[in-house]
Amino acid sequence: MIRFSHVVKEYPRTGLALNDVTFRVNKGEFAFLTGPSGAGKSTILRLVIVEETPTAGEVRVSGSLTSGLPRAEIPRLRRRIGVVFQDFRLLEDRTAEENVAFALEVTGAPREGIPARVSRLLTQVGLASKGTSYPKELSGGEQQRVAIARALVNDPVLLVADEPTGNLDDRATRGVFQLLRDINAAGTAVLMATHNLDLVKRNTYRVIEVNRGQLVFDSAEGDGGAATVTSSTPT
């Protein structure tokens, strides 16, 4: 599903953000991406959604090599990936329904199927009764659910989440996280960057940890030495 081999990412002004990162996330897998601030988590996710391409090494997503991917192919790949952010990124002047419908409209879904699909998705994320509310009228947890519903419009094979619970309180965090687990249980691979170590510890999902642009721990490798690094990493 996702395959990084010896990925190096250098930003023009800030320099090396990732250095020789290699890992893969399989179909249907759930993986946490952790590490201190500035470690390179968001950079990894940006490479996955082809907002960036690696300076060296290879990133493969759903079989496609992202470097040198024709511009016209990028939208097609993105439709197979759902993306969720800490700040929700909803359109303030549109209702919950309209925000979800927007993703369908702009990807050229047939019009007549849109309302039914939107209400099904809002029901799935537990917001069936809030469809006509504007983002301002929703709690943070509810807004994130709208964003998740939007990320699911095209039945993605992969959901990428960059600190989706970063702005939420514990209760909302549990709710949103449960939703991500359900989505994963239905077969969608999930890669979730998070600072919330509680959440990571309380679950048995795989953990990939980066620090200063390098992969320092991957629970799938069962490397005890690296695990020590995890516990000593301040967050």
Ligand X SMILES: Nc1ncnc2c1ncn2[C@@H]1O[C@H](COP(=O)(O)OP(=O)(O)OP(=O)(O)O)[C@@H](O)[C@H]1O
* Interface residue list for ligand X (CB under 6 A): 11, 13-14, 17, 35, 37-43
Closest CA to 67 of 75, 77, 57: 57
Which residues of the chain form contacts with another protein (CB under 8 A)? 49, 71-72, 75-79, 83, 89, 91, 102-103, 105-108, 150-151, 153-154
CB of residue 234 to ligand X, shortest distance in Å: 12
Residue nearer to ligand X on the CB measure, 37 or 204: 37
CB of residue 100 to ligand X, shortest distance in Å: 26
Contact flag: residue 194 with Mg ion (CB under 5 A) = no
Residue nearer to another protein on the CB measure, 49 or 189: 49
DSSP 3-state of 42: helix
Closest CA to 34 of 226, 187, 176: 226
CB of residue 84 to another protein, shortest distance in Å: 10
Residue nearer to Mg ion on the CB measure, 86 or 184: 86
CB of residue 40 to ligand X, shortest distance in Å: 4
Q: Which does 102 bind (CB under 5 to 8 A by kind): ligand X, Mg ion, another protein, none?
A: another protein
CB of residue 165 to ligand X, shortest distance in Å: 13
Of the candidate spans 23-31, 40-48, 97-105, 175-183, the one that interacts with Mg ion by CB under 5 A turns out to be: 40-48
Q: Which does 125 bind (CB under 5 to 8 A by kind): Mg ion, ligand X, another protein, none?
A: none
Instruction: Please say whether the beta carbons of 209 and 218 come within 8 A.
Output: yes
Contact flag: residue 184 with Mg ion (CB under 5 A) = no
CB of residue 204 to another protein, shortest distance in Å: 30
Contact flag: residue 42 with Mg ion (CB under 5 A) = yes
**Beta-bridge partner residues of 61:** 2, 64
What span, in angstroms and rounded, lies between the C-alpha atoms of 8 and 21?
7
What six digits make up the tokens of 5?
Answer: 């081999």
b/e string for 190-224 if b means 16 or more Cβ within 10 A? bbbbbbbeebbeeeebbbbbbbebebbbbbeeeee
Distances (CA, A) of 128 to 38, 84, 122, 131, 133: 37, 20, 5, 6, 11
Residue nearer to another protein on the CB measure, 49 or 200: 49
What six digits make up the tokens of 205?
Answer: 């999902």
Distances (CA, A) of 215 to 8, 41, 176, 219: 11, 10, 27, 11
